[in-house]
Amino acid sequence: MQRERDERGQQGLVVVAGGGGFIGGHVVAELLAQGYSNVRAVDSKPVSSWFQVFPQVDNLELDLRDRAACREAMTGARRVFNFAADMGGMGFIETNKALCMLSSLVNTHLLLEAWEAGVERYFFSSSACVYAAEKQVSTDVAPLKEADAYPAMPEDGYGWEKLFGERMCRHFTEDFGIQTRVARYHNVYGPNGTFAGGREKAPAAICRKVIEAQLSGKHEIEIWGDGEQTRSFMFIDDCVQGTLLLMESGVTEPLNIGSDRLVTINEVVSIVENIAGLKVRRRYDRTAPQGVRGRNSDNTLVRARLGWEPRTSLEEGLEQTYRWIYDQMRAEERPSRVSRGVSV
């Protein structure tokens, strides 16, 4: 075990762009747990506002939309994980398309500087938003296969940025020889992430709203849409495992990393109610952003290529998420900033 840890430390510097964010912070934690001793985390936010901070890591505050910042981040790098992006739940990405598109600067500049630095392997975090809305018009949606990204008509703004990022990775591999890996994430949730303020996604928003209902005694929450829209949700631990497996694999094409269990938003609310031991009145705002009607992951290819599939049930993952958010809200001793409903 010690030899394995030493070898991982000697593999060279691993850079995690977006390391102060939700997924990036969990990846840094897992790299350290696996014995990687040379890790750099980079994020545009002040280190004091990162979700997870590790003193043994080289923590840098840099705006990676700027190429000079990417050059500094890539100094000495051998492997790079790119999670850096301006994004959030549906309420954010539907009203901030230009900001989402500007994240293409991050990936473009990171790839250029990774090429200059001689980076051996580069990971890009893409999204199920690359899939065309016309394939997601029913609650009983057919699971999305990787090939369904073409002919291309991704979600406006954020989806186009992610699909463009995938193409950039492909062409940097073809033209410059950088080994790239691409994961299409499907609705990742868990502790140590955003749960208020407008960028939170559905599982965290639902947990927060049920906790607010519980603490206030009002026992009522608002849900965007009719609650019958469907999604699959993947717990962060499974996401990290799939990500690291993909990074170490020989797979060069994009892969879905997500759960293939399809549930309605109403079902998610019911699960959180059971965790809280509370029944809430549900007010539905059908005028709010809802995204596609249904979305699910087809995991056939990722099982064949990586032998991976999620292990954490939605009930288990939501309980961990709920408990963490509850502790955060109690520690604040004040109501969390309330966004306008449940974003998906």
Among 257, 291, 306, residue at a domain's last position: 257
**Tokens at residue 215, please?**
């603490």
Structural domains in the chain (count): 2
**Tokens at residue 1, please?**
């075990």
DSSP character string of 131-179: S-GGG--STTPPPBPGGGG-S----TTHHHHHHHHHHHHHHHHHHH--E
Mean pLDDT of the residues in the chain: 93
Tens digit of pLDDT for each residue in 42-89? 999 999 999 999 999 999 999 999 999 999 999 999 999 999 998 888
30 and 168 part of one domain? yes
207 and 151 part of one domain? no
277 and 310 part of one domain? yes
**Within-domain flag for 342:** no
**Within-domain flag for 62:** yes
Q: Identify the CA nearest to 294 among candidates 267, 269, 262.
A: 262
**Tokens at residue 14, please?**
């691993």
37 and 85 part of one domain? yes
Tens digit of pLDDT for each residue in 153-181? 999 999 999 999 999 999 999 999 999 99
Check pLDDT > 50 for residue 197: yes
Tens digit of pLDDT for each residue in 259-268? 999 999 999 9
**Within-domain flag for 24:** yes
Q: Are 110 and 73 in contact, with CB atoms under 8 Å apart? A: yes
Q: Are 145 and 298 in contact, with CB atoms under 8 Å apart? A: yes
Tens digit of pLDDT for each residue in 112-151? 999 999 999 999 999 999 999 999 999 999 999 999 999 9
The single residue of 122, 158, 322, 326 carrying the catalytic annotation is: 158
Q: At 311, which CATH number?
A: 3.90.25.10
Domain that holds residue 280: 189-232+261-332
Check pLDDT > 70 for residue 14: yes
40 and 127 part of one domain? yes
Q: How far apart are CA 318 and CA 316, in angstroms?
A: 6
316 and 171 part of one domain? no
**Tokens at residue 82, please?**
């790119």
**Within-domain flag for 243:** yes
Query: What is the Cα 285 distance to its own chain's centre?
Result: 26
Residue 222: phi and psi, rounded to 5, are -105, 140
Residue 36 is a catalytic residue: no
137 and 29 part of one domain? yes
135 and 199 part of one domain? no
**Within-domain flag for 48:** yes
Give the SS3 label for residue 68: helix
Residue 307: count of CB within 10 angstroms of its CB: 9
224 and 83 part of one domain? no
